[in-house]
Amino acid sequence: MASASLLKSSPVLDKSEWVKGQTLRQPSVSVVRCLPYAPSPLTIRAGSYADELVKTAKIVASPGRGILAMDESNATCGKRLASIGLENTEANRQAYRTLLVSVPGLGNYISGAILFEETLYQSTTDGKKIVDILVEQKIVPGIKVDKGLVPLAGSNNESWCQGLDGLASRTAAYYQQGARFAKWRTVVSIPNGPTELAVKEAAWGLARYAAISQDNGLVPIVEPEILLDGEHGIERTFEVAQKVWAEVFFYLAENNVLFEGILLKPSMVTPGAECKERNTPQQIADYTLKLLQRRIPPAVPGIMFLSGGQSEVEATLNLNAMNQSPNPWHVSFSYARALQNTCLKTWGGRPENVKAAQEALLIRAKANSLAQLGKYTGEGESEEAKKGMFVKGYVY
């Protein structure tokens, strides 16, 4: 376990002591010299925000609640609007985002909302600040801070996530605007390897982002998404996920990140979307929980799963299966399409459909709230909610 308290007194491990894809190999007792009077060279740096970071993370990871991911870039939001016949204009994006944040009672099931930069500074159609509306609902505002994926030179057609340049000043400004957590999404592709270079780059970028965010008062959501693309089985996903998360936590510790002040947004351990053999929610839960138990320190307060193209119902069923017995962490959701899909189609861009669309979002939020508590049954779900949303080569 690499909690903040243990890190302060643990010996610093040389890189050679790290076995890729495995757990930390502790040095022999004969070579560890304990000097009780000497300060440890490894300290946790969260500045003056440490207490606030821990408090914010606990609020977001509160029982029966999860995250509404509504941080689609303007281009991606435009694709969603185009699917219902709307033009990608600021006014239409504002109307849709207003619909989402102003759902009565949403804060009963949603603890945090990830926003795009435009949304963080945006007002609703009624002229109220979106951040203020969220706070009134007891929903913590968050902000997407990465600058998207670009090709990774020297890799097997893989990507890396850009956005570290200027991140310190941007996160400081976002904090002043009311954001209290951040999100950085990078991806790992199983059909393309993943190469060691791609895994290392993903892990290092996430760790630097996390350290910078904490220094400026934002709880970092750490998200190395293992893409659903591919024909591989669940065992291969499990193998890759172990390697990725081992690397991520090694570099988080190297960068002195306070584990109690982060949240994770992993993929569930599922087979590739094009794999012929499908797995039950219980099998997915078993593999996913085994991964968490092997790789995630109990000091981390919350695991907020992404849906990654699963249908609304599938994502909820899998989450419910993971909460049938107590876990060391708050195991919950951070869904975008798996919360918004039916809502968006119900709205259709028509003012007269706003109330029905908001009810559709509330139904999904409540279903996932029940799943977080292990009480979801799946009864009465619509056919729309059962439709898969996987898109091969999906660009976020």
Q: What is the pLDDT of residues 94-117, one digit of tens each?
A: 999 999 999 999 999 999 999 999
**How does residue 13 score in pLDDT terms, banded at 50, 70 and 90?**
very low
pLDDT, residue 308, reads 79
Burial status of residue 35 (CB atoms within 10 A of its CB: 0-12, 13-18, 19 or more): exposed
Q: Which of 144, 183, 243, 265 is catalytic?
A: 265
Question: Is 276 in the active site?
Answer: no
d(CA 39, CA 61): 33
d(CA 320, CA 154): 40
Q: Does the pLDDT of residue 344 top 50, yes or no?
A: yes
Q: Does the pLDDT of residue 175 top 60, yes or no?
A: yes
**How does residue 390 score in pLDDT terms, banded at 50, 70 and 90?**
very low
Average pLDDT for residues 374-391, to the nearest whole number? 68
Average pLDDT for residues 384-395, to the nearest whole number? 53
pLDDT, residue 17, reads 37
Q: How many CB atoms lie within 10 A of CB 233?
A: 15
Q: For 221, phi and psi rounded to 5 degrees?
A: -90, 120
Three-state secondary structure call for residue 228: coil
Average pLDDT, the chain: 88
**How does residue 164 score in pLDDT terms, banded at 50, 70 and 90?**
very high
Specify the pTM: 0.84
Q: Which of 223, 225, 312, 381 is catalytic?
A: 223
pLDDT, residue 383, reads 65
Q: Does the pLDDT of residue 1 top 50, yes or no?
A: no
pLDDT, residue 31, reads 44
Looking at residue 341, its amino acid is: N
d(CA 297, CA 260): 10
pLDDT, residue 386, reads 56
pLDDT, residue 389, reads 46
Cα angle at 396 between 349 and 146, to 5 degrees?
A: 115
Residues 45/256, Cβ–Cβ less than 8 Å: yes
pLDDT-above-70 percentage for the chain:
84
pLDDT, residue 387, reads 56
Three-state secondary structure call for residue 214: helix
d(CA 194, CA 160): 12
Question: Is 375 in the active site?
Answer: no
Among 12-26, 82-96, 177-191, 291-305, where is mean pLDDT lowest?
Answer: 12-26
* Residue 194, preceding peptide bond in cis (omega within 30° of 0): yes
Q: Does the pLDDT of residue 257 top 80, yes or no?
A: yes
Average pLDDT for residues 65-69, to the nearest whole number? 98
**How does residue 44 score in pLDDT terms, banded at 50, 70 and 90?**
low
Among 98-107, 255-264, 376-385, where is mean pLDDT lowest?
Answer: 376-385
pLDDT, residue 261, reads 98
Which tokens sit at 106? 């949403």
Average pLDDT for residues 153-157, to the nearest whole number? 94
